[in-house]
Each structure stands twice: as C-alpha cells, then as structure tokens.
Amino acid sequence: MNYLLAFTSLAVAVTVYIAVCTRKVSFRAIPGPPSPSWVFGNMLQLWVSSPYGKYEFAWLKEYGNVYRLKGCFGQDRLMVSDPRAVQHVLNNVDTFRISPLVETFLHNFEGPRGIQVVQGAEHRRMRTALNVAFTASAVRQYQELFENVARKISSELEATSESVVDVCQVIGAGTLAAITEVVLGRSVEELDEELVQILSTALVQDTRQTPSSVVANALSVLLPQFNLLKHVVSLLPVLSLLRKARKLATRLGTQVIEEKAAALEGGMDPGDDLYAYLLRQNTTLTKEDIAIQTPVLLIAGQDTTANTLTFGLLELARKPELQEKIRQEIHSMADSPYDNRPLLNALIKESLRMFPAEALAERIVVRDTVIPLTESISTMAGEHIDHIPVRKGEVVLVGIASYQRDKSRWGENPDKFDPLRWVDGRVIQGEAIGPYANLLSFLGGPRTCLGWRFAVMEMQTIFSELLGKFSFALEEDKPDDLFVQLAVSLQPSDPDGKKVVPLRITRLL
C-alpha cells in the first residue's frame, strides 16, 4: 500500500514537473510580487490571507491593475482588474472557463443541467427563460413577500432586544426564509430539517479556502487529464454534503412545481412567488427544468445576500452617526419607493463594493487569445504593451475586490467603508461592466448574477425594516477584532476563524 502511495505521488510529482517545465508562459515579462514558495507561489497570500486582501490590495497599489503572480508549483497567473481586460474576460465565456475544480463542485451540487453548469446555446436558452422571473417588473411583484419576511426577522429580534445577538445567525436565517418564501412560496418550517441545516451552517463552515484546496485547484488546472482527481475530490465530505443538498432541494422543487402546476390547471391561485410567476409566463422551460434549478437558487441567493447585509450592519455599528442618518432617511421617506432613497441605496452599494461575495473569479483560457487593456503597462524589459497574449491552459484571475478598490473610479480612500461617496459625486462610474452601479459584485457578461435585482430588493426591505426599528452597536469593552475571510464567499470572522458578528441590538421608538 505504501509502495502504491509512494509510486502515485512520484508519478504525480514527475508529471507536474514536466507539465510546468515544458509550458512557456506568454505573460512572464509582466512585473509582479516575488514568490515566497515554489509549492504555493503567491496563492496562499492571495486565497488564504487574513484579513482577505492583506497582500492583494498592497499589490494593487504597487503593481497597478494588471500584474503577474506565481501559482503553485512554479505556474504563473495573470491578475487583472483593468476594466477593459475584465470586460473582455467576462464577456468571452467560451474562451475563459471556470476552473475544473469549481466545475466539479458545481456539477455535484447542481447536476449536469444546472444553470451554472450548462454552456453555450443551452445556457442562453435557460437564462432567457429564467430571466422572465427576475426582471425589474417581476421582482416588484415580490415586494410584499419580501416585506413580510423582513417583518418576521424584526419580530424575532423583538424578543432579544437589548441583548447581544450574533447577527450572522439572525440574518442567515432571514435570507434563507426570504429565498424559500419568495422563490418557492414555502416557509422554512415546511422544509426538510436536514436541508435547512446544510444550507444554513454546514456548507458555510466547510467551504473555507485552505492550503489543500489551493493545491487541489492548482492540480486540477495543471493536470486536466488526471480525471482521477475528479473522483478523489468527489470523496471530499463537503461534496457529499453538496450532493445531499442537491437531492433534497430538487425533491422540494419538484413537489412545489407539481403543486403549483396542478393549481393553475385547476383554475386555482398558485401564489405570488417566483415559481408561480414563472409557471404563469409559459416559458420554454419544462417543469423539470425549473425544479432542477432549486439547489442553485437556494444556495446562490442565500449566503451571498446574508453576508452583504451582515457586513453592512457591522459597519454601521462601527459608525453610529452614519447609522442614525440612514435611519432618519428610512423614517422620513417611509412612503417613497425604495429605489428613491439615496442613503439606503448608498449603503447597499458600499456594502457590495467593499465586501463582494465573489472576491476573485478564476478563469482558464481554453484557446489562445489576446486580452486588451484600458491603459498600456510596462513589461520588466521596459516595453509598453496595451494587449496581453494568453495561451490555452493559462489562468487569469479577475480581481473583483481589487477592481472595487480602484481610487480613480471610486474616489479617495477606497479602502474605507464610506457610503456617502455614492451621494456626494465622488464615484466616477465609467463604462458599464457590472449590471448594478457598475460594480462587479454581481459579475458581468453572460454569467452575470441572475438574481441581482432580487438581491437588491431583498436588501432594501431588510435594511429598511431593521434599521428603522433597531439600533446596532458593537459590544462595549470588547475589542473590535472581526475581520474579512474568504470561504465560499467573503464572510466576517472572529480571530478564531468562526463566522460570527455579535452586536448589541436595541429596540427603538
């Protein structure tokens, strides 16, 4: 057995060595930081640093918005947050694909026909059909459902008023309720307990970036021919959790769709939720097409929104005067549509800007191409270039978090949480890449977040309800030592690596 293990490790090591040594990198001449290790390159600094961005944001200042990094085993990575380069990578989804490891995760969780798994014409067909339920006018139809959920969260908080509460738990439970009630028309209490447990805790705890996940990702890129790796990875506990969640969520989705379709056929009201809306629209989607999107909708729409809301509340607890200003707007503009409330929307934009759920988007080049740049850069030899050739098999990292800290775009002190930058004219929008406020938090191009309008309305209703009724404060006499960590998405963390945000919540009025 030991011989077998030793032989396999040697074979992998030799193959890695040959693969690295025989590959010529097209962007080697681009400057970047020194690499602290051959095994990890700069990848631990990039993916596993605490707080997230400790190195990345310093590199951004030193090397600008295009630079070279070392990957594991001496590979090279191209890091871009230059607007034109980002736009090019995100728009050309058939040339820049997600990494094989992420693909394996998505496959386990969504199955072969999940919206994030399907490609090309099938993706376009599904996107167009699903989009019907995510347009501005469709999302307006769900406003009342969102407001009901927001009121439920605040009535839960009434019971705990004046005490210190973990906001991650409260908001996490709230966004899970929002997604199940608004998408499926079901309350969380009606869901399978195991599914709720996986969605609300297990997945979040088990998906942190670690040195092993960084190496596994590098190997999946370097040795795509090692299909074996896929099978080994499939044995990981987190993937069996994902498969379990997929099975339970798809079963739930199928049940809900069948019931709603039967109600419609019988001339009865199937409800005001998103699935009912989708069924009424007669799209090209079959009942099965819709049901199999249940896992991705439940997961993509929950933790992302929860973390953005939680970061927003934490920042407001750190800035009581700003919190009071936003509260006054909520009270004075109670009858105005959410979109017309400048400070509320500034809070949402700033929370998305500083804490994008997906901080880095990694893409593999599947055919040789050239990436255009907004401004030319200098190579180490002093040559000025405004295009970067990339070859099949190379890896490009889109620095979403870095893009959102570019001073020339977002104004002075881009590392500071300052929602007022959105109302006093400091933000220079420039060309549109992302769908909302030109942020990349919802990505851009054909793979733009399907639920971005849904998420914005959810955050508008929950922030308005909670900030209108409660004040949020840091714990007295405790150090403010919470920081940002990268798990499946950016999340708040205490010094022990636990996802927790304890705040004192007080009922107002």
Count of residues interacting with ligand HEM (CB under 6 A): 22
Stretch that binds ligand HEM, among 76-84, 331-339, 383-391, 445-453 (CB under 6 A): 445-453
Q: How far is the CB of 66 from ligand HEM (least distance, A)?
A: 20
Q: How many CB atoms lie within 10 A of CB 41?
A: 23
Per-residue x/- mask for ligand HEM, residues 383 to 422, rule CB under 6 A? ----------------------------------------
Give the strands of the sheet with 470-474, arranged side by side.
Answer: 163-166, 502-507, 470-474
217 touches ligand HEM by CB under 6 A: no
Q: How far is the CB of 255 from ligand HEM (least distance, A)?
A: 19
Give the residue nearest to ligand HEM (CB).
451
What is d(CA 86, CA 65) in angstroms, rounded to the nearest whole number? 10
Q: How far is the CB of 129 from ligand HEM (least distance, A)?
A: 12
Per-residue x/- mask for ligand HEM, residues 36 to 65, rule CB under 6 A? ------------------------------
Contact by Cβ (8 Å): 365, 394: yes
End-to-end CA distance of the chain: 70
Q: How far is the CB of 479 from ligand HEM (least distance, A)?
A: 28
Closer of 46 and 296 to ligand HEM (Cβ) = 296
Q: Check the annotation: does 168 bind a ligand.
A: no
Torsion of CA 470, 471, 474, 475, to 10 degrees: -60
Q: What is the H or E stretch that residue 166 is in?
A: strand 163-166
Closer of 443 and 467 to ligand HEM (Cβ) = 443
Which residues partner with 395 through β-bridges? 77, 364
451 touches ligand HEM by CB under 6 A: yes
Per-residue x/- mask for ligand HEM, residues 275 to 314, rule CB under 6 A? ---------------------xx--xx--xx--x------
Q: 411 CB contacts (<8 Å, ≥6 apart)?
A: 421, 426, 427, 428
Stretch that binds ligand HEM, among 24-32, 378-386, 451-459, 464-472 (CB under 6 A): 451-459
Closer of 30 and 309 to ligand HEM (Cβ) = 309
Closer of 362 and 406 to ligand HEM (Cβ) = 362
127 touches ligand HEM by CB under 6 A: yes
Q: What is the DSSP string of 121-142?
A: HHHHHHHHHHHGGGSHHHHHHT
Among 447, 500, 504, 506, binds ligand HEM (CB under 6 A): 447
Ramachandran sector of residue 413 (left: φ over 0; alpha: ψ -120 to 50; beta: rest)? left
Positive or negative, the CA dihedral 363, 26, 209, 491 is negative
Among 359, 455, 462, 482, binds ligand HEM (CB under 6 A): 455
Tell me 182's DSSP state: I
Closest CA to 316 of 281, 369, 354, 285: 354
Closer of 426 and 447 to ligand HEM (Cβ) = 447
What is d(CA 291, CA 286) in angstroms, rounded to the nearest whole number? 9
Closer of 23 and 287 to ligand HEM (Cβ) = 287
Tell me 73's DSSP state: G
Q: How far is the CB of 403 from ligand HEM (least distance, A)?
A: 12
Find the radius of gyration of the CA atoms of the chain.
23
Instruction: State the residues that interact with ligand HEM by CB under 6 A.
Output: 115-116, 127, 296-297, 300-301, 304-305, 308, 357-358, 361, 441-443, 447, 449-451, 454-455
Annotated binding-site residues for heme read 449
